[in-house]
Amino acid sequence: MRRQLNTLYVTTEGAWLHKDGANIVMQVDNQERARLPVHMLESLVCFGRVLVSPPLMGFCAEQGITISFLSPNGRFLARVEGPVSGNVLLRREQYRRSDDGERCGLIVRGLLVGKIYNQRAVLNRGLRDHGEKLDGSETEALSAAQQRLGRIARDLLRESRVDNLRGLEGEAAQTYFGVFNTLVRNNSPSFQFTHRNRRPPRDAVNALLSFLYTLLIHDCRSSLETVGLDPAVGFLHRDRPGRPSLALDLAEEFRPLLGDRLALSMINRRQVSERDFTQMDNGAVLLSDASRKTVLTAYQERKREEVKHVFLEEKAPIGLLPVLQAQLMARHLRGDLDAYPPFLWK
Q: What is the pLDDT of residues 293-316, one digit of tens each?
A: 888 889 988 988 889 888 888 888
- Separation of alpha carbons 105 and 330, rounded Å: 16
**What are the residue ranges spanned by the domains of the chain?**
7-80, 89-334
Task: Extract the runs of DSSP E, i.e. beta strands, from 21-111.
Answer: 23-28, 31-37, 43-47, 51-52, 66-70, 76-80
- Separation of alpha carbons 108 and 321, rounded Å: 18
How much is the pLDDT for 121? 92
State yes or no: pLDDT of 246 exceeds 90: yes
Nearest Cα residue to 88 out of 226, 250, 230: 230
Sign of torsion over alpha carbons 163, 168, 171, 177: negative
Report in angstroms the alpha-carbon separations of 293 from 15, 33, 272, 287, 323: 15, 16, 11, 10, 25
Read off the DSSP letter of residue 309. E
Model confidence band, residue 340 (pLDDT cutoffs 50, 70, 90): very high
Give CA angle at 113 (110, 118), nearest 5°: 130
Sign of torsion over alpha carbons 309, 172, 246, 79: negative
Give the DSSP H or E segment for 308: strand 306-309
Give the DSSP H or E segment for 245: helix 245-251
CA atoms lying within 13 Å on the CB side of residue 232? 5
Query: What average pLDDT does the segment 82-90 reach?
Result: 75
How much is the pLDDT for 16? 92
What are the pLDDT digits (tens) for 217-238? 988 988 888 788 989 999 999 8
Reduce the DSSP state of residue 140 to 3 states and report it: helix
- Separation of alpha carbons 208 and 204, rounded Å: 6
- Separation of alpha carbons 304 and 299, rounded Å: 9
Return all residues near 130 (Cβ < 8 A) that are at least 6 apart.
183, 185
What are the pLDDT digits (tens) for 269-282? 999 888 888 888 78
Nearest Cα residue to 166 out of 235, 253, 251: 235
89-334 belongs to which CATH class? mainly alpha
State yes or no: pLDDT of 84 exceeds 90: no
Superfamily per CATH, domain 7-80: CRISPR-associated endonuclease Cas1, N-terminal domain (3.100.10.20)
How much is the pLDDT for 136? 78
If 0-12 CB within 10 Å is exposed, 13-18 middle and 19+ buried, where does residue 163 land? exposed
Read off the DSSP letter of residue 259. I
Give the DSSP H or E segment for 175: helix 162-178
Model confidence band, residue 4 (pLDDT cutoffs 50, 70, 90): very low
Q: What average pLDDT does the structure give for the chain?
A: 86
pTM, whole model, 2 decimals? 0.82
Model confidence band, residue 2 (pLDDT cutoffs 50, 70, 90): very low
The answer to whether 226 and 4 are in contact (CB under 8 A) is no
- Separation of alpha carbons 121 and 149, rounded Å: 10
Residues constituting the chain: 346
Query: What average pLDDT does the segment 185-209 reach?
Result: 85
What are the pLDDT digits (tens) for 15-53? 999 999 988 999 998 888 888 888 878 778 888 889 999
- Separation of alpha carbons 299 and 11, rounded Å: 14
Peptide bond into 342 cis (omega under 30): no
